[in-house]
A and B are shown apart, each in its own frame.
Chain A
Amino acid sequence: MSLGSRIATWWRAVSERDEVDRQVKEEFEFHIESYVEDLMRSGVPREQALRQARAELGSLAAGREKCRAAWGSRLMDELWADLRYALRMLGRSPGFAAIAVGSLALGIGVNTVIFTAAQHMLLDRLAVPHPEQLRLLWWTEPHLGVVESMWGWFDDLPGGGQTSTSFSYPVYQQLRKQSSAMESLFAFKPLDRQTVTVDGHPEAVEAEMVSGNYYSSLGVRPQLGRGIQESDDGSPGSGPVVVISDRFWMKEFARSANVIGKTILVNVTPMTIVGVNPRGFTGAYSAQGTPDIFLPFSMQPIVVPGNFTGSASSSLLTNIDEWWVLVMGRMKPGLSDRTAVASLNVLLDAAVRATMPMNRDSQIPKLLMTDGSRGQNPAAEGLAKPISVLLGLGGFVLLLACANLANLLLARASARRREMSVRLALGAGRWRILRQMMTESLLLSLLGGIAGLMLAYAVRNAIPRMMSDSWAPPAFSARFDWRIFGFAAGVSIVTGLIFGLAPAWEATRVQVSSGLKDSAQTASHRRRGLAGKTIVVIEVALSMLLVVGAGLFVQTLIQLEHARLGFRPDNLLLFELQPPQTRYRDAANIPLYRQLEQKLSAIPGIQSVALTGLPLIDGNVMIHTFISEGQQRKPEGNPVVLSNDVGESFFSTYRIPIVAGRGFNASDTETSRKVAVVNESLAKKYFPRLNPIGRTFETGFHEPVRIEIVGVCGDAKYDRVRKDPEPTYYAPYWQNKHGVQQATFALATRLDAKTLAPTLRQAVQSVDRNLPVLDVRTQDEQIAASMQHERVFANLTAAFGALALILACIGIYGIMAWTVSRRTLEIGIRIAVGAPSEQVQAMVLREAAWMTSLGVAAGVGGALALGRVVASLLYGLKAWDPATFAGSATMLILVALGASWIPARRAAGVDPIRALRHE
C-alpha cells in the first residue's frame, strides 16, 4: 500500500474524470471484442456471442462508476453532484438566494470590516525581527513617590500613586550600563510634530528620538544609507543626523537615492539625512503609524530644547527630575521575565538613589516589564473596549442573519418534503441527505462570505476615516491580508454550519410514507412549527438588543452634539502654530504672537482673533497648582485646577460671558501685576459665598507666582464635551514668563477654511517664513473630531439596528405566511362554521404579537446585560433608559404586526369552499 499511488490515482479520478471514463470504456470494449472472438471460435454466432459477452461483463456505466470509485473518487463525485444540484436549486429560487446571500454578505462584511480595524489597532506588531522578544519597561510608585514630573503617558493607580512608562535619561543610562539581564536596553521618545524645512518649504512632522543602539537592538536595517549609530549619540550635539521614513522619502524626495547626505532644517537646526527606513517600519512606539524623522538623543538640547522643571538647563539629558524616556529591551534566550525584572529592579533602585535627592520617606518606583511587541500601543488604550463591543454587536448581527436564514431554510425544507421522501424511498441514506443539505447551506454561506469580503473591501477604509480628523489624512488604512481572508472564511463556514444544521436535520426526519402523500399534514407539523417559532423569538430578541443598542448610541451622539458647551463654536476657524524653541526660546514667542494677532485682525472678513495655549475640545488640559489666598502650601501636595493661556479677545471670540469683574485689556502688560479670570466653578469651589474679585492665589511649582483674580466668566467646557466644566482659570498669555510653546489661533469669521488658508499662510510667513500653518479647521470640526468613537458607534449601531429590523420583518413575515398556508384548511373550517374574517385576522395577528412579545422580553434581558457593558461609552442617558427600551419594543411590535398583516389578510380572505376542496 502506497500513499503516492493512492493520491496519484485519486487525483486522476477526480481531475481527469473523462479521461478515466474513456480508459474504462476502451478496456471494456477490448474485453468484449476478445471474448466475442473466442466465443465465435468455439462456434457461437456473432450476435449471440456479443450478447453473452455484454451480459457477463455487466453495464459499462456501472463499471465506470465502480472503477472510479475504486480510485477513491466517490466523495468528490458526490460533492460535485451536490454542488451542481445546490446551484440549480438556488437558481430556481433567485429571490431566496438573493435574500440569503445578501443578508449573509452584510453580516459577514460588517464583521470583517470591524475585525480588520480591530486586528490592525490591537494586534499589529512592530515590523522588526522577533518582536515577541521585546519588553517595554514600566513602573509603579506609591502616593508621594520620588517621581513628580513626567512627560509622556502616565496613569493614576486606584489606591493612590501612579504608573508610567517614562524614565529619566540619567536613570536610563545607569540601567543600560549595568544591565546584564537583557540582551540590550535601548531608549526612544516619540515627539509631537516638529518644524521641518525641506528646500525652504516648512512643515510639521512627527519625530522620534532614539538611542544610539536603537537600530542595532531592534535589528532594523535602513533600505538606504544607515541607521542612527552609537557614534551619533555621544556628547550633546554630536550627531546632527536624521533617518527619514519611507513615506517622507516618497512625499518629499520622490524616492531619489540622492537624499543621503542632504541637509534639512529640523526646528531650524541643520541636520543631515543619513538613511531611509524600510517600508512598514513604524518605530518602537506604535505599530500603526510611523514618525517621519528619527534623530539621536544627543541632539535634544539643540533641536528640541525646553524649559523643564527644576533645572535651568535646556538639556533633558542631564535632568534628574523629568521622567520622559521610554525604555525597551530584548529578552535573552532562556531567561525568564521574572529573573530579568528582579535584577533590573535592583538596578533601578540603585540608579534612583544615585541620581535623585532622597530623604528617609522617599518611595522608589517598582519596575515592571510588559510585552513590547506592539510598542507602547497607544491605539489600544481606550479602544479595546469599544472595539470588543462593536465586535460583539457585529456578532449579534451575524447571528441574526443566521437565524433568519435557518428560518427560511426550515420553510424550504418543509416545501421540499416530497423531494426528500422520494430520495429516501429510492434508497438514499439519511447521512447522504444530511450531506447534501449541508452542501447547500455551506454553498450559501460561502457565497455570502465572498460577497461579504468584497463588501468589506469596498468599505475597508470607512472605520479608519471615521476614526481620523477630518482635516488630516486618515491616521491608518486598513490592510487586507491572509488573516482577513482566514477570518472571513472561518466565519462563513461556522455560519453555514449554524444555520444549516437544524434545517438539514429536519429534512432527514421526513417520514417516507407520509411525505409522499400529496398534502400531508403530519405529526411533525407541530414540532416543525415550534422550531420555526423558536427561531423567530430568537430573531426578535436579537433585534431588540440591536435596536436598543442603536437607540443608546445614536442618542449619545445627539446628546453630545447638543450638549451645552458654555461657548459658541460656530463661525470659528482654528489653526496651530508651533514656533520652534530653537528660534523662539521661552518668552521670545510672545512678540511673535502679538505681531500675528495684529496682522490677522487686519485681514478683511476676520472679526476677531483669539489666541489659546490649548484649543478647546481637543482632549488636552493644562493643570496648575492652586493655593487660594490665606492657604498655606503643603509639602505633601496641593489642590490643582485647570488653566489656559489666552489672548485678550478670547472671551468675546468664544462668546464666553464675563459674569463679574472684567476680562483682559491693555492695562494688563508683561510687567504689570499678574491677573486671571476664573470660571464660576472655581469661584464656587474655592471662594464659597465670597466675592473672588480682587483676591489672589498662588500657583507654580518651583517658582511660585501670585495672581490676582480680576473677573469671573461663565463655565465653558475645556478638553471634552463629555466632561462637565471643572474649576479653571484663564491667564493672559503675555504674562507667562515661559511663553507659550504652541498656540492655537481662533478666528471669528464667516469665511471658510479653504478661502482663508492661503491668506493665513501668507500672513504667518510674512513674519517668519520657516513657520508652517498647521491644522486649519473650524471649531465645529474640532468638536466633531472629539466624537469620532461616538460617531463610529452611532453609525454602525444604527446600521445594525436597521438591518435587524429588516431581518426581523422578513423572519416574521416568513413564519406567519407559512403558518397561514399550513392552516388553510383549519381556517377554512373556521370561516365555514361562521367565524367573522376580523376574528381570523386577529387570530393571526395575535400569534405574531405573542411571539414578538416573548422575543422582546428576552431581548430586554439581553439589552440590560449589554447596557452594563456599554454604560461607560454612553453620554446623557442611562444604559437602561426607559424611553429607549419602550421605543424599541414598540417599534419591534409594530414591525411584527406590519409584517404579519399580509398573511393575516390572506387568512381572513380564505374561501372556505376552495380550502376544503383543496384537501
Chain B
Amino acid sequence: MAKDAGVDLLQGTLDMLVLKAVSLGPLHGYGVLLRILQISQNRLEIQQGSLYPALYRLEHEGWIAGEWGQSENKRRARYYRLTAAGRRRLEAETKKWNQFAEVIGVILNTAREEL
C-alpha cells in the first residue's frame, strides 16, 4: 500500500478513524482501509492485521453494525454502518480530540516571549 507519508497512528485513534470512515456511508473492511487512506491523502498507514479486530470490537460495543451485502464488483461482503450510539460516540471523541489537539498545539507553539 502507498507509503509516501510517514505519519504513524497514535494509539487508540484507530477506533475513531474507523467510526469516522463508516459515518460517511456503509463500508466493508477493505473499503474502510481505502476510505481512511483517501481522506488522509495517503499519509496514514494502518496495520491491516489490526483493522478487523477493531471492527469486531466496535461492533461488540454496539457503535457499528455489520451486515452482509453486495460489493461493487458483485461479491458478497460484510458492510459496516454507524449506529446511533456510534454517532454519539464519534461526536464525543471528535470533541475530545479537538480539545486535546488544541491544548497540545497551544503548548507546543508557545514562543518564549509569550510567557
Contact = CB atoms under 8 A, between A and B. Distances in A.
Interface of A: 1-2, 4-6, 9-10, 23-24, 26-28, 30-31, 33-35, 37, 56-58, 62-63, 66-72
28 contacts: A2-B61, A2-B62, A5-B60, A5-B61, A6-B62, A9-B59, A10-B60, A26-B76, A27-B28, A27-B29, A27-B52, A27-B78, A28-B52, A30-B28, A30-B75, A34-B71, A35-B30, A56-B1, A58-B48, A63-B49, A63-B52, A63-B53, A66-B52, A66-B53, A67-B52, A68-B56, A70-B57, A71-B59
A30 B77 contact: yes
A9 B56 CA distance: 9
A32 to B, nearest CB: 9
A26 B30 CA distance: 12
A57 B56 contact: no
B85 interface: yes
Given A1-B61, A4-B62, A35-B30, 13 more contacts: A1-B62, A2-B85, A5-B62, A26-B78, A27-B28, A27-B29, A28-B52, A31-B30, A31-B48, A58-B49, A63-B53, A66-B52, A72-B60
A67 B75 contact: no
Contacts of A66: 52-53, 56
Interface string B40-77: 00000000110011111101111100000001010111
A33 B75 contact: yes
Interface residues of B, number: 25
A70 B49 contact: no
A2 B86 CA distance: 10
Contact of A23 (B48, B73, B78): B78
Given A30-B75, A35-B30, A63-B53, A6 B48 contact: no
Contacts of B60: 5-6, 9-10, 70-72
Contacts of B73: 34, 37
Interface string B81-111: 0000100010000000000000000000000
The 9 A-B pairs of least Cβ separation, nearest first, read A5-B62, A58-B49, A2-B62, A70-B56, A66-B53, A70-B57, A67-B56, A34-B30, A9-B60
Given A71-B60, A72-B60, A30 B76 contact: yes
B6 to A, nearest CB: 17
B7 to A, nearest CB: 18
Contacts, number: 76
A72 B1 CA distance: 31
Between A4, A24, A34, A57, the greatest number of chain B beta carbons within 10 A of the residue's beta carbon is seen for A34
Nearest to A30: B77
B53 A69 contact: yes
Nearest to B31: A34
A5 B59 contact: yes
Nearest to B53: A66
A609 to B, nearest CB: 88
A58 B46 CA distance: 13
Contacts of B48: 31, 56-58
A121 to B, nearest CB: 52
A68 B55 CA distance: 11
Nearest to A32: B30
A31 B30 CA distance: 5
Contacts of A71: 56, 59-60
A341 B57 CA distance: 64
Contacts of B85: 1-2
Nearest to A33: B75
Contacts of A68: 56
Nearest to A62: B49
Contacts of B61: 1-2, 5-6
A631 B57 CA distance: 100
A63 B61 CA distance: 19
A70 B66 CA distance: 14
Nearest to A69: B53
A26 B48 CA distance: 16
Contacts of A72: 60
A39 B57 CA distance: 28
A23 B52 CA distance: 11
Contacts of B29: 27, 30-31
Nearest to A1: B61
Contacts of A57: 48-49
B1 to A, nearest CB: 7
A67 to B, nearest CB: 4
Contacts of B71: 30, 34
A67 B73 CA distance: 25
Between B1, B52, B77, B78, the greatest number of chain A beta carbons within 10 A of the residue's beta carbon is seen for B52
B69 to A, nearest CB: 11
A692 to B, nearest CB: 96
Nearest to B77: A30
A67 B29 CA distance: 13
B78 A67 contact: no
Interface string B1-21: 100000000000000000000
A57 B49 CA distance: 5
A62 B55 CA distance: 15
Contacts of A34: 30, 71, 73
B4 to A, nearest CB: 14
B37 to A, nearest CB: 11
B78 to A, nearest CB: 5
A67 B30 contact: no
Contacts of A5: 59-62
Contacts of A28: 52
Contacts of A33: 75
A58 B29 CA distance: 14
Contacts of A4: 62
A816 to B, nearest CB: 54
A24 B62 contact: no
A546 B89 CA distance: 65
Nearest to B28: A30
Contacts of B59: 5, 9, 71
A34 B30 CA distance: 7
A826 B28 CA distance: 69
A237 to B, nearest CB: 76
A57 B30 CA distance: 11
A723 to B, nearest CB: 74
A156 B28 CA distance: 87
A4 B85 CA distance: 12
A71 B61 CA distance: 9
Contacts of A35: 30
B104 to A, nearest CB: 26
Contacts of A6: 60-62
Contacts of A26: 76, 78
Nearest to A65: B53
Contacts of A37: 73
Contacts of A30: 28-30, 71, 75-78
Contacts of B77: 27, 30
Given A5-B59, A30-B76, A57-B48, A70 B30 contact: no
Contacts of A69: 53
Contacts of A9: 56, 59-60
B59 to A, nearest CB: 6
A63 B55 CA distance: 12
A58 B49 CA distance: 5
A4 B28 CA distance: 23
B76 to A, nearest CB: 7
Given A1-B85, A6-B60, A70-B57, A24 B76 contact: no
B112 to A, nearest CB: 44
B71 to A, nearest CB: 7
Nearest to B89: A1
Given A1-B85, A30-B30, A56-B1, A24 B52 contact: yes
A27 B76 CA distance: 9
A72 B48 CA distance: 21
